[in-house]
Amino acid sequence: MKMHRGSLRRLLRWPVKSLRGEELQEALFDDRGMAGDRAYSLVDDRDDHAGKVLTVRRRSGMLHWRAGYGSGDTPELTAPDGTVWQWHDPGLAGALARSLGTPLHLRAADGQQDRGPTVLVTFEASLVALEAELGRPVDLRRFRPNLHLGLDAPAFAEEGWGPGTTLTVGEVELAVVGDHTGPCIRCAVPSWDPDGRERWPELQKWLIGEHENKFGVIMRVTRPGIARRGDQAVADPRPAAGELRVR
């Protein structure tokens, strides 16, 4: 398969699972994936859901909250009314519980909680083609990627990438290594407006019917380093063979 070249268009990080995230100019990638990505979560305290991590699928209002690291090592959360809360503020859990309508507690971990040490990569050509297919704009944030690249590859080429595929972005090298990596099979979350305003179920129906429910590719970091917006990117794809994992 042909190598493809381009550049890093956008860098996005999601500090708290299912909350809105932040856009970056540069980020560290290491054995955690993107450092600080999905490293915090909200845990349901209802008797019949105790211990389960809250997600947009249960509480779409989570998308009314934004999380970012600011100047600290732990996230600060911005509430729908604009109030800024520090992660260790004793009132934060209560404010979230009132906003989301469920008792909960906060959880932090050393590294990612959501999907292990992987990175989600999306591509501008595929996003533009998807918009053309659907006849309306599609906000990239629906797909919650970490890296968004502009490559000279055809739209949706990544749907066929398999183990052995490598991607170099600045100092960082990523690879499809088999288990839990490869073209990303989507859940229902992209059907939600990224600001939590309304649902667009036809988006996932279209992906299922036309793209085997794939958008983007899940990869692991094989060479750590810093990726910066505008960095050169080179993809060296290998063909897929066999079923790929759900993100």
Residues listed for the chain: 247
**What is the residue type of 232?**
Q
Mean pLDDT, residues 161-169 taken together: 97
* Rounded CA Rg of the chain: 18
**What is the residue type of 223?**
R
Whether pTM > 0.85 for this model: the answer is yes
Q: CA-CA distance, 70 to 31, in Å (whole number)?
A: 23
> Is the confidence at residue 243, as pLDDT, over 50?
no
Phi, psi of 121 (to 5 degrees): -120, 135
Asked if residues 149 and 6 have their Cβ atoms less than 8 Å apart, the reply is: yes
> Is the confidence at residue 247, as pLDDT, over 50?
no
Asked if residues 247 and 184 have their Cβ atoms less than 8 Å apart, the reply is: yes
Q: How confident is the model at residue 191 (pLDDT cuts 50, 70, 90)?
A: very high
Could you tell me which residues are beta bridge partners of residue 239?
A: 161
Per-residue model confidence as pLDDT tens digits over 73-111: 899 999 999 999 999 999 999 999 999 999 999 999 765
Per-residue model confidence as pLDDT tens digits over 104-127: 999 997 655 455 689 999 999 999
Q: What is the pLDDT of residue 113?
A: 47
Asked if residues 77 and 85 have their Cβ atoms less than 8 Å apart, the reply is: yes
Q: Which of 55, 56, 59, 70 is nearest to 22 (CA)?
A: 70
Q: How confident is the model at residue 140 (pLDDT cuts 50, 70, 90)?
A: very high
Q: CA-CA distance, 34 to 147, in Å (whole number)?
A: 9
Q: CA-CA distance, 146 to 150, in Å (whole number)?
A: 14
Per-residue model confidence as pLDDT tens digits over 11-37: 999 999 999 999 999 999 998 899 999
Helix pair 201-211, 124-134: axis angle to 10 deg? 110
Strands 4-13 and 232-236: antiparallel
127 or 52, which is more confident? 127
Q: Which of 20, 101, 93, 89 is nearest to 59 (CA)?
A: 101
Q: How confident is the model at residue 236 (pLDDT cuts 50, 70, 90)?
A: very high
